Chain A
Amino acid sequence: MNPYLGGVLLGLVLIVAFWVSGRGLGASGAIKSVIVAGVDTVAPGHTQSAVFYKDYLDTHEGPLKDWLVFQMLGVIVGGFLSGAIAGRLKWKVEKGPSVTNKIRLVFAALGGLFFGFGSQLGRGCTSGSALTGMAVLSLSGFLSMAAIFGTAFGLAYFARKLWI
């Protein structure tokens, strides 16, 4: 798909989200909800004492009855449908030409760990904080976009073996 057309379509999805729910798109918030629900099931005593979980449970009626959780379930379905139509469904490790599968998977997990932590610290990720935040013209949207992309650009040289 032409990237500019794709961008307009993504922007339209974002506008529909605003029109329906008053909030834009997101991803990391859904992960947080699922984790709080998971920990609450496994160790309910712990979630009543630890601040992070307790605050969340006190302000949400049910952690899984959450807008972003349903939206992310849709993302998985939508991604799968697009991949199926385009013939891209395949088990695969995607990596740069000069790394092994093992190194790629280790760094993918490590990158996920950083992103997961950072998304909680920054109150949202590329979707919820940077993209949605910029569309509503919030200061934090521009700051988080600049910090995420600026840091990735700044560190690209050190990570070049992974990608080129």
Chain B
Amino acid sequence: MGPLIVNEIISDNTNLFLAFLIGIGFGFVLESNGFSSSRRLAGMFYGYDTTVLKVFFTAAITGAIGLLFMSLFNWIDLSYIYINPTYLWSTLGGGVVMGAGFIMGGYCPGTSFCAASIGKLDGLAFIGGMIIGVLIFAEGFPLWQGFYEAKFMGAPLLSEMLGASRGFLTLLIILVALGMFWAGEWAEKKFARKDYIKND
């Protein structure tokens, strides 16, 4: 029966209303896990607070497992789920530029809005910067359009590339994530800081 919008179970306007409600859930969960704090987000890269890593990978695993089971029970048709396309150079290049922005700014787009919503002025400054960054990209688009569209590979799944089933890849990701959770717990003890109180 899902996705509801593709199967015309709900109208376009209901879909937008549900987007608003889903956003409330998204923002609430992010904020209550401390994603509104740039020091917590940056902490992942110095090891003193790896909450973000734990939340992020637990969410990705939950999402992947959830989709598999919903497909198994015929609650959702996976062929209607949007798969992000791969343009090899711009996917990697964009990621590198975003990584640089992450370590300088301490936020990513979603978390900066969360931060601003509770009054963080550095979150607002980040949003201001983002607007300029998107405008630069839009205005200079002809300059990087070639790079942006280069090496298009369609929308492959990693499981297809590896010749594995979705279930097997999901299991593999769970094992990798468990290893990272262990490393995260270890890092928080080793790199704990006196000037930073970690509270869950």
Contact = CB atoms under 8 A, between A and B. Distances in A.
Contacts, number: 529
B63 to A, nearest CB: 3
Contacts of A45: none
A96 B43 CA distance: 10
Interface of B: 2-6, 10, 15-33, 36-39, 42-43, 45-46, 48, 51, 54-64, 66-67, 70, 75-76, 80-88, 90-123, 125-139, 141-142, 144-145, 147-148, 153, 155-159, 161, 166, 169-170, 173, 181, 193, 195, 200
Contacts of B90: 121-123
A6 B58 contact: yes
Interface string A58-79: 0000000101101111111111
B134 A15 contact: no
A25 interface: yes
B129 A163 contact: no
Contacts of B117: 75-77, 79-80, 83
A17 B198 CA distance: 31
Nearest to B117: A79
Interface string A149-164: 1111111100110111
Binding site of A, secondary structure by majority: helix, strand, loop or mixed? Answer: helix
A104 B45 contact: no
Contacts of B91: 122-123, 129, 140, 143-144, 147
B129 A19 contact: no
8 contacts: A3-B55, A16-B25, A71-B23, A73-B20, A114-B104, A115-B133, A116-B136, A163-B46
Given A4-B55, A120-B94, 5 more contacts: A80-B27, A82-B28, A107-B104, A116-B136, A163-B39
